[in-house]
A and B are shown apart, each in its own frame.
Chain A
Amino acid sequence: MTVSVPLWPAVLGRFGWQDLPFVRAWENPTISEIIGAFAGALVVVGAVVVAALLTRYGKWRYLWTQWLTSLDHKKIGIMYIVVAFVMLSRALVEAVLMRMQQAVAINNPGFLSPDHFGQLFSTHGSIMIFFMAMPFLTGMINYVLPLQIGARDMAFPWANSIALWLTIGAAGLMMTSLVVGEFSTGGWSGYPPYTERAFSPGVGVDYWIWAVTLGSIGSTMAGINIACTVYKLRAPGMRFMRMPMFAWTSLCTSILMIFAMPPLTVATLLLALDRYLGFHFFTNDLGGNMMNYANMFWLFGHPEVYILILPAFGVYSEVVSTFSTKDLYGYTSLVIATMAIAVLSFTVWVHHFFTMGQSANVNAAFGIATMTIGVPTGVKIYDWIWTMFRGEVRFTVPMLYAIAFMMTFVLGGFTGIILAMPPLDYLVHNTLFLVAHFHNMLIPGLLYGMLAGYHYWFPKAFGFRLDERWGRIAFTCWVVGFYLAFFPLYVLGASGMARRTQAIFEPSFRPWLYVAGVGAFILLAALTSLGIQLWVSIRDRAATRVEAGDPWDGRGLEWSISAPPPEYNFAVLPQVDGRNPFYDHKHDEGQPDPYASPASYTDIVVPRGSATSVVIGVAAAVAAFGLVWAIWGLTIVALQVIVAAVVVRSFGRDQHRTIPAAEIARAHEAWLARVRVTRAIPRQLETAAVNRGLAEIVR
């Protein structure tokens, strides 16, 4: 922990020269400090390079008007996913560093100081949950959901943009902590009393508190928006039991967000009151009770697990059905199972702290409730298997992820049953067994799902397909890397190796730690492959265009429009009469032709872009930065800017733009004309260059 002398307290608050990692590395050039300085330099250089490139190519105005201030749900969704990939890169590199440290620090101190190691596992966890997983799934829902239910936008486009910018601001705060100061060493769950001022006096915990708080407020807003969109903006005829499964899982996830994010906000804000104003919520003395924190954190934390996993379940449902050329098996049971998981997720939070001293009966009740969740999850797995059964299964990249998920996730479920039994949990609590378990759930249950969705919907969003070969290489690395990196941890955990250990004194752990280290490098190779894939795909995009919009013989409404879709999504709002509206119209005799010209067009109103949401997100991050460094004036000014932005926006009128019917007709008819001259291809040629997004219909 750095002890720096404040330089100029009146203006710079707690800041001193030693808060810069470069100064620390200069004064104390250990490998640990040099790595910290290198990471800080990387952030600065990265920002400068991006800014320089934007200036060099004169893209600032384009970026500002077309993207940053846009209220279009599709662009907001894409920006969320860009944030997720950037943060994924950082957190994955941190994971590799930790694996290397544990592999070399056997009976010696290794190359990372304990404090640095603590910061690494805290940022790794916080980023992966709040700034990789949450933006990824929120972005995916943002992009896909309105297209699936036949809506023109989300219910509240401006709030949507604010939620995005609060997330970006919070992620920016995480990145800033690399350059100025340090991060918390309290883990992603930030348990007090360790995170109280008495034990963690530095700025690290404050960074954690405010980054997480901004992120959770953003997620609450996103949840409200998603729920309202599903409830109110479905196309005519899109009844609940006709919605695609991804829309159902989005709805359940949003309900969980609405109820589960506030406990996190309360927990972090009460911790902030303790730290900043000397309150006694979670302190050791004067009546504080840290169990209140544990309860509130996991009252958020457990539903959070299902916030993360349900959207992936939705993606798998779409992918398995599409690439098995079959209707989803057991649609109703999948809906019920999703709802059941959402409800049950609020009844199990105590299993995160079985060992904290409540009575055996309480533990038994929560242990049983925990095992109950396995039932609806099992129903889902069977439904997906039955969907594949006797289908014409095509092993495209998304389908490969879905299959890898089914096998890997079931294995993780088995170890979950072990952890759900309090007597067994006592044995492996706080060991690497737990780390192996939750990575075993979240990597297939979130990451594979988001990557499957990324491959599946990418052609819809950008109008060309992702490279298949590099996709398979990345897939192989993700799966092999996962098994090598995490299955050894089950063995280590069962042998008693505690999680978050900076140095190891048990030589027999060495081979397992080596294998896990190799796995971490393969996972890094997987991410690199995804980067190469993106580059190759953009380079070769002329050969993989799918402008007709239906590269996979898709089933839902999102495939019935051009790729990329127009700003208003649907030239004419679709009339839904079944569960697979687009597929049935394509394939069934006597159904209306999905590519027929509509009888008439009407004007469409779309929201104009708004700079106020950018201002609010950035000002919130600035206010948080002021709070971290005790620069109170900065915080006060930033908060006033937020209030002013909200008031200015509320006084604004003329915030919509009307696209005339004639313009829509012109664009839509031009697209239909191009579809008519597109060659329809059979499924066997799906991944070949001839796939221009029109499916051959065999009746």
Chain B
Amino acid sequence: MSEPELAHAGLNLGDTGELTKDQAENAIFGFWIFLMSDAVIFALLFATYGTMIASTVGGPTPASEFKLLPAFVETLLLLTSSATFGRATLAMKYDEPRRVLFGWLGATLGLGLVFLALEANDFVTMLAHGAYPMRSGFLSSFFALVGLHGLHVAVACFWLVVMVGQVCAYGLDARVRINLLRLGLFWHLLDIVWIAIFSVVYLQGNIG
């Protein structure tokens, strides 16, 4: 009796050359598990934020600090960056000319960096108001949650630069393809986490 054939959905690899599908599957599957445990970390920080949102201790409150417009612009930037990363993945899958791949990766990186710059600007504005993390439990949990997401985006940007270097060095060999897919998953996860941040932190802070 033959074993059932298991195919990994969404394995946008195209031609993997010497790499067998099994290896790619293990690598991507393992990364999914990692993302899951990373998501647990964010879940706990969301829970912490939820329990501390009222702990403003007479200091700045969500309503006084959160501006919807910059947060909305940041959301659009990140969502667009996920789309451009998706387009880069397709360029890899169908072996489009290298400049197409670099173009979309570059656009993704640019959007990520602009996002980081806007977020840094938000933070600086808040600090200038006296809304710094040592002020209250609420602000501690806000900076830990949103700051950790920002740190993730910064890591992802750095990783993207490294990947561009690897494409230059090795072309699209099997490992580069797998790591680009992993980076893509990472990037999309950060997008999803940001949507939760936008809803739970910024929308709730302004409207709730």
Interface residues of A (CB under 8 A from B): 155-156, 220, 223-225, 227-228, 231-233, 236-237, 258-259, 261-263, 265-266, 270, 273-274, 277-281, 286-289, 292, 296, 299, 647, 650-651, 653
Q: How far is the CB of B149 from chain A (nearest CB, A)?
A: 14
A-B contact pairs, 21 of them (CB 8 A): A220-B37, A224-B30, A228-B26, A231-B29, A259-B40, A261-B37, A262-B40, A262-B41, A266-B44, A266-B45, A277-B133, A277-B134, A280-B136, A288-B55, A289-B52, A289-B55, A289-B137, A647-B162, A651-B165, A651-B169, A653-B175
- Beta-carbon contact of A258 and B137 below 8 Å: no
- Beta-carbon contact of B30 and A296 below 8 Å: no
- Beta-carbon contact of A228 and B30 below 8 Å: yes
Q: Which residues of B contact A155 (CB under 8 A)?
A: 26, 30
Q: Which residues of B contact A262 (CB under 8 A)?
A: 37-38, 40-41, 44
**In the complex, what residue of chain B is closest to A254 when comparing beta carbons?**
B33
Indicate whether B193 reaches chain A with its CB closer than 8 angstroms. Answer: no
Q: Which residues of A contact B83 (CB under 8 A)?
A: none
B115-140 vs A, Cβ < 8 Å mask (1 yes, 0 no)? 00000000000000000011111101
- Beta-carbon contact of A258 and B44 below 8 Å: no
Indicate whether B75 reaches chain A with its CB closer than 8 angstroms. Answer: no
- A-B contacts besides A258-B33, A279-B140, A650-B179, 11 pairs, CB < 8 Å: A259-B37, A265-B41, A266-B48, A273-B140, A278-B133, A279-B134, A280-B136, A286-B55, A288-B55, A292-B52, A651-B169
**In the complex, what residue of chain A is closest to B41 when comparing beta carbons?**
A262
Q: Which residues of B contact A266 (CB under 8 A)?
A: 41, 44-45, 48
- Complex CA gap A471/B45 in Å reads 48
B131-172 vs A, Cβ < 8 Å mask (1 yes, 0 no)? 001111110110110000000000000000010011001100
Q: Which residues of A contact B40 (CB under 8 A)?
A: 258-259, 262-263
Q: Which residues of A contact B52 (CB under 8 A)?
A: 281, 287, 289, 292
A232-B134 contact, Cβ under 8 Å, with A266-B41, A650-B179: no
Indicate whether B9 reaches chain A with its CB closer than 8 angstroms. Answer: no
The B interface, classified by DSSP as helix, strand, loop or mixed, is: helix
Q: How far is the CB of B135 from chain A (nearest CB, A)?
A: 7
**In the complex, what residue of chain A is closest to B2 when comparing beta carbons?**
A236
Q: Which residues of B contact A651 (CB under 8 A)?
A: 165-166, 169
- Beta-carbon contact of A233 and B26 below 8 Å: yes
A228-B137 contact, Cβ under 8 Å, with A220-B37, A270-B144, A653-B170: no
**In the complex, what residue of chain B is closest to A255 when comparing beta carbons?**
B33
Q: Which residues of A contact B140 (CB under 8 A)?
A: 273-274, 279-281, 287-288
Which interface residue of B137, B141, B143 has the most chain A CB atoms within 10 A? B137
The A interface, classified by DSSP as helix, strand, loop or mixed, is: helix
- Complex CA gap A232/B29 in Å reads 9
9 residue pairs, one from A and one from B, having the closest CB atoms: A287-B137, A287-B55, A279-B140, A262-B40, A278-B134, A228-B30, A287-B136, A280-B137, A232-B26
- Beta-carbon contact of A286 and B136 below 8 Å: yes
Q: Which residues of A contact B162 (CB under 8 A)?
A: 647, 650
Q: How far is the CB of A301 from chain B (nearest CB, A)?
A: 14
- Beta-carbon contact of A280 and B134 below 8 Å: yes
- Beta-carbon contact of A286 and B135 below 8 Å: yes
- Cβ contact of B51, chosen from A270, A286, A289, cutoff 8 A: A289
- Complex CA gap A69/B55 in Å reads 49
Q: Which residues of A contact B173 (CB under 8 A)?
A: 653
- Beta-carbon contact of B133 and A279 below 8 Å: yes
**Which B150-208 residues sit within 8 Å CB-CB of chain A?**
162, 165-166, 169-170, 173, 175, 179
**In the complex, what residue of chain A is closest to B132 when comparing beta carbons?**
A278
Looking at chain B, what size class is its interface with the partner chain? Answer: 35 or more
Indicate whether B63 reaches chain A with its CB closer than 8 angstroms. Answer: no
Q: Which residues of A contact B29 (CB under 8 A)?
A: 228, 231-232
- Beta-carbon contact of B55 and A296 below 8 Å: no
**Which B1-59 residues sit within 8 Å CB-CB of chain A?**
3, 22, 25-26, 29-30, 33-34, 36-38, 40-41, 44-45, 48, 51-52, 55-57
- Complex CA gap A278/B38 in Å reads 25
A287-B3 contact, Cβ under 8 Å, with A258-B37, A262-B41, A266-B44: no
Q: How far is the CB of B141 from chain A (nearest CB, A)?
A: 7
- Cβ contact of B144, chosen from A220, A265, A273, A288, cutoff 8 A: A273
Q: Which residues of B contact A650 (CB under 8 A)?
A: 162, 166, 179
Q: Which residues of A contact B3 (CB under 8 A)?
A: 236-237
- Complex CA gap A650/B183 in Å reads 13
**In the complex, what residue of chain A is closest to B25 when comparing beta carbons?**
A232
- Beta-carbon contact of B37 and A270 below 8 Å: no
- Complex CA gap A258/B22 in Å reads 23
- Cβ contact of B137, chosen from A225, A286, A299, cutoff 8 A: A286
- Complex CA gap A8/B165 in Å reads 42
Q: Which residues of B contact A265 (CB under 8 A)?
A: 41
- Complex CA gap A281/B142 in Å reads 11
Q: Which residues of B contact A281 (CB under 8 A)?
A: 48, 52, 137, 140-141, 144
Q: Which residues of B contact A278 (CB under 8 A)?
A: 133-134
- Complex CA gap A160/B56 in Å reads 43
- Complex CA gap A258/B29 in Å reads 14
Q: Which residues of B contact A258 (CB under 8 A)?
A: 33, 36-37, 40
Q: Which residues of A contact B179 (CB under 8 A)?
A: 650
Q: Which residues of A contact B51 (CB under 8 A)?
A: 289, 292
- Cβ contact of B44, chosen from A220, A236, A263, A647, cutoff 8 A: A263
- Complex CA gap A267/B30 in Å reads 25
Q: Which residues of B contact A225 (CB under 8 A)?
A: 30
- Complex CA gap A127/B49 in Å reads 32
- Complex CA gap A263/B166 in Å reads 34
Q: How far is the CB of B25 from chain A (nearest CB, A)?
A: 7
- Complex CA gap A252/B31 in Å reads 19
Q: How far is the CB of B142 from chain A (nearest CB, A)?
A: 11
- Complex CA gap A133/B16 in Å reads 41
- Complex CA gap A292/B137 in Å reads 11
Q: Which residues of A contact B55 (CB under 8 A)?
A: 280, 286-289
**In the complex, what residue of chain B is closest to A283 when comparing beta carbons?**
B137
- Beta-carbon contact of A227 and B144 below 8 Å: no
Q: How far is the CB of B132 from chain A (nearest CB, A)?
A: 9
Q: Which residues of B contact A653 (CB under 8 A)?
A: 170, 173, 175
Q: How far is the CB of A296 from chain B (nearest CB, A)?
A: 6
Q: How far is the CB of A281 from chain B (nearest CB, A)?
A: 6
- Complex CA gap A228/B25 in Å reads 10
